[in-house]
Structure 1
Amino acid sequence: MSRTRGTPGRRPRLRFDGWIAGMGSSSGTRIVLGYWQRSPFGPFSDAMIERADGERLLLAPSRRTADFVSSTYTFDRVHVVPVRVSVADDTWTVIAGSLALRFTIGPRGVQGMFLRAVPGAFAARPVWSALTYWPARLIPPGVRTRGSAGAGRREWYGVRDLRPVAAVSAVLEGHDLGAGAPVEPPVRFGFGSVPRKPTIVRVTTTVELGS
């Protein structure tokens, strides 16, 4: 599932199925990892980083993915580097250029169990993003499941699972980022931030292309 069929009068839509993890650090740097198992570009991962001073950095594995992501979201710097993600039980290890990241995830709570019970085919549709829009807005800092993106695009996030990020260690450009912390202030890559509480979600993202 990577591209929906076009219909007369509707712009093309692309689908990305995978995981998004958002976490902060005691140094003030916040990291958002995308781990896409199915996409129009094949499986890939990318990392969006916002430093304490507000600089936004994208680490993407190819020029094609870097161009697509950077035209959808806003960054100050874009680096094309190998991005490798390995998952062993509840521990995720990420090597992306100058970023070395490791985090563990905790057991899912009531929200995660509810989301897992939603049929996958329904959760992948934009209508699910619309139904969960207002409940998601109650999650600090006011999470958005749909909105406008760059290049005239629109996006829908269909969340299918949710688990807490329990522990984080990260080094960026040779500097230890410190202990894990809330995502505060919110990241500013697109129309909304990830939850303030470090979290990983399984999601189907639908991107409607601009004219």
Structure 2
Amino acid sequence: MRLRYDGWILGTGTTSGTRLVVGHWPRSPLGPVSDVMVERPDGHRLLLAHTAELAEFVASTYTFDEVRVVPVAVGRAADQWVVHAGPLRLRAAVGRRPALGWALRAVPSPLARTPAWVGLLDPLARVAGMRTRGTAGGGRTEWYGVQDLHLLRAASASWDGADLGGLARVEPAVRFGFGSVPPTPSVVRVTTTIGLSKAV
């Protein structure tokens, strides 16, 4: 059994050392949903999810030290992202598409989303320190079918009103699952396919 989440993943570090990964999924088995994965400078990993059902599914696929069910709202307009997720406020400005983004755009989307194609790309992704296929929690397998990539040119974030600082690289890599987001702050257009060992 395979489930498909179709949307965007935004990944950025902050100058305070907190790293943020926003998943925005207009099309998913749970309807339109969004979540935020947070890793603090001390390594504490936190999931912010909009519904208990989404929180349960994500937490059984990835690894967290803490899970919170909170309102999560993601606004996208032109080149701006605005994220409100419980105590988190994030604003990001999307910049240019690098050479890799243009290469990803050149692959027809129906092909780019298929697990077979994603599996072929995984050895190349590993050379760049990333993964497109791997084994997740609960005996699940994931395929990240990336179809576009833009760099972020600015970001600001706060937690419970305290400033987290501006844009920074995602370093060290986040440790929620088998792979991380690119070290350079970016947003990717992606279809995530999850193979389940049993029905959920």
Q: CA RMSD in A?
A: 0.9
Q: CA deviation at 1:75?
A: 0.5
Q: CA deviation at 1:68?
A: 0.1
Q: Pairwise mapping of residues 160-199 of structure 1 onto structure 2 (< 5 A)? A: 160-199=147-186
Supply the distance in 2 between the matched residues of 1:101 and 1:128 (Cα, whole angstroms): 33
SS at match of 1:132: helix
The answer to whether the aligner puts 1:119 opposite 2:108 as a matched pair is: yes
Q: 1:34 aligns with which of 23, 29, 36?
A: 23
Partner of 1:4: none
Instruction: Give the partner amino acid of 1:16.
Output: Y
SS at match of 2:138: helix
Partner of 2:33: 44
Q: 1:209 aligns with which of 192, 196, 200?
A: 196
Q: CA deviation at 1:30?
A: 0.1
Partner of 1:153: 140
The answer to whether the aligner puts 1:103 opposite 2:95 as a matched pair is: no
The answer to whether the aligner puts 1:78 opposite 2:53 as a matched pair is: no
Supply the distance in 2 between the matched residues of 1:208 and 1:71 (Cα, whole angstroms): 13
Supply the distance in 1 between the matched residues of 2:156 and 2:40 (Cα, whole angstroms): 15
Instruction: Give the partner amino acid of 2:12.
Output: M
SS at match of 1:188: coil
Q: CA deviation at 1:88?
A: 1.4
User: For residues 87-134 of structure 1, what are the alpha-carbon distances to aligned partners after superposition, in whole Å with 9 as ceiling and x for unaligned?
Assistant: 111010000110000001111122111211211111110012112112
Instruction: Give the partner amino acid of 2:196.
Output: L
Which segments of 5 or more consecutive residues in structure 2 lack a partner in the other structure? none
Partner of 2:46: 57
SS at match of 2:9: strand
User: For residues 166-207 of structure 1, what are the alpha-carbon distances to aligned partners after superposition, in whole Å with 9 as ceiling and x for unaligned?
Assistant: 111000122211121000111000011111111111111110
Instruction: Give the partner amino acid of 1:175.
Output: A
Q: 2:13 aligns with which of 24, 34, 40?
A: 24
Supply the distance in 2 between the matched residues of 1:179 and 1:169 (Cα, whole angstroms): 5
Instruction: Give the partner amino acid of 2:109.
Output: G
Q: What TM-score, normalized by structure 1, do the two folds share?
A: 0.92
Supply the distance in 2 between the matched residues of 1:201 and 1:110 (Cα, whole angstroms): 13
Identity of aligned residues (%): 58
Length, aligned pairs only: 198
SS at match of 1:72: coil
Supply the distance in 2 between the matched residues of 1:172 and 1:94 (Cα, whole angstroms): 12
Q: What TM-score, normalized by structure 2, do the two folds share?
A: 0.97
